[in-house]
Amino acid sequence: MEKLVIASDHAAFDLKQEIKAKLISSGYQLEDLGCNSTESVHYPEFAKKLAEYVLEHKCRGILLCGSGIGVSITANRYPGIYATLVTSKEMAEMSRRHNHSNVLVMGARFIDNGLAEEILETWLNTEPEDGRHEQRVAMIDAPVNKVG
């Protein structure tokens, strides 16, 4: 089965534990990069670890924090990482089909565990579309030309 990596900050530790259990029981090979408790930590450290792991091991990742915003910003600083903050099954599907998301981000303070599991299942089972979407994703990592 597919290899996945997961990380969270303290605010999403409980959600991470729920998701881990579901993934392991479904047969996924899972690497947990922390955090390991609800004790306060700095979210950028875990987002960076996960982004580097995804790039090195060519796998997909799940990244969680209180809002999902901070870890998204941090992870997306890495070329080749397409971290998408998702709050619905529809967004999960579109993030994979159109944006080729390789990192699913969720905010534990804004979704419940049931919805998080539905989002995860949708994201894991949706394949990226080629054609115009592949071209658009390639444009994301292209050098930025300054305007003006």
Active site positions, annotated = 65, 98
Query: Tokens standing for 133?
Result: 């979407």
* DSSP symbols for the chain: --EEEEEE-GGGHHHHHHHHHHHHHTT-EEEE----SSS---HHHHHHHHHHHHHHHT-EEEEEESSSHHHHHHHTTSTT--EEE--SHHHHHHHHHTT--SEEEEETTTS-HHHHHHHHHHHHT-PPP-THHHHHHHHHTSPPPPP-
